[in-house]
A and B are shown apart, each in its own frame.
Chain A
């Protein structure tokens, strides 16, 4: 299974047509796939809170948005999640590269990894953790759930899910 294609297929099948991204090495394939899809307007953002602002605007304009980012961005976006996405009750699927988990080669990434789930739990953000490739099968349901309840929803995707970092 090509998980990059599967993720993009699920986005398109759920009518998600506005996707903003801040890159991560693990996300390179899915970002490329999103960029290639005619059904999706891909708009890279410079910082994740900016990206959430774009998504909020797009949703109010009638498009279903999504953000693709690293888990370090949870540290950047707490205020935006609380005072924009949650306060105005907006749906936002967050496909998150979960750096600093098993198979992580960069020690500093662990420093935010240990806070990631605690911060998401503190924010009452529904959180799913993809550890095996087959976990991606839940993505379609998670996206439907997100737009049913109008909440930000986190999908943490770790190195094991993506197949490791190769020879990094």
Chain B
């Protein structure tokens, strides 16, 4: 499965949660598949989805799912020790690990070679780190939500992107709509 197929699969689960979605094609795909006020789309700032998600989870009680990518986690790897040492049990970091920089032409990442992000997360002190197959994403994600424990999920999947339109919504509109959904 490629990322867009996974997102289609788990859209019914994501719909009821606060979602912080990674820059580029992941946000475009989620926006096209199931746009929700509870989705915060990153339009720039590669790497910070996991940090924004953690800050949001620490600040309020609702479940937060950050949809990140292997390339983006590699670019902000300092986020993993911060997550490990500031446990928010309403936080799930879901890394869609397709071993490539999808938004820039599918160049390979080190996560698709020797580097295991699940092992990195564990070495950083993260608990409840689960590496799973693309087809199992929905089941693993639902269990993580139901557990009420912070999780780091590494979803191994195929490289590739769906053709989706660029998000043209104004960033302040995305943010304002999201904040209203957070406080609702």
Contacts and interface: CB of A to CB of B under 8 A. Distances in A.
A82 B44 CA distance: 9
A43 B51 CA distance: 11
Contacts, number: 114
Contacts of A53: 45, 47-52, 55, 76, 79
A129 interface: no
Interface centre among A55, A79, A83 (most CB of B within 10 A): A83
B132 to A, nearest CB: 25
Given A46-B81, A49-B76, A50-B76, A58 B44 contact: no
A89 B172 contact: yes
A136 B180 CA distance: 35
A80 interface: yes
A6 to B, nearest CB: 26
A61 interface: yes
Contact of B60 (A41, A62, A89): A62
Nearest to B86: A43
B13 interface: no
Contact of A88 (B51, B76, B174): B174
Interface residues of B, number: 34
A43 B47 CA distance: 18
Chain B facing A: main interface SS: helix
B174 A60 contact: no
Interface string B12-55: 00000000100000000000000000001011110111111111
Interface in A86-115: 87-90
A57 B76 contact: no
**Interface size bracket, A side:** 20 to 34
B172 A43 contact: no
A47 interface: yes
Contacts of B172: 88-89
Nearest to A41: B58
A115 to B, nearest CB: 21
B145 interface: no
Contacts of B175: 60, 88-90
Contacts of B183: 62
B83 to A, nearest CB: 10
A18 interface: yes
A87 B145 CA distance: 31
**6 closest Cβ pairs, A-B complex:** A57-B55, A61-B59, A83-B44, A53-B51, A46-B78, A53-B48
Interface of A: 18, 41, 43-47, 49-63, 65, 79-80, 82-84, 87-90
Given A18-B58, A56-B55, A60-B40, 4 more contacts: A50-B76, A57-B54, A61-B182, A80-B45
15 contacts: A49-B76, A51-B51, A52-B51, A53-B76, A53-B79, A54-B51, A54-B54, A56-B51, A57-B58, A58-B56, A60-B55, A60-B175, A80-B45, A83-B45, A89-B172
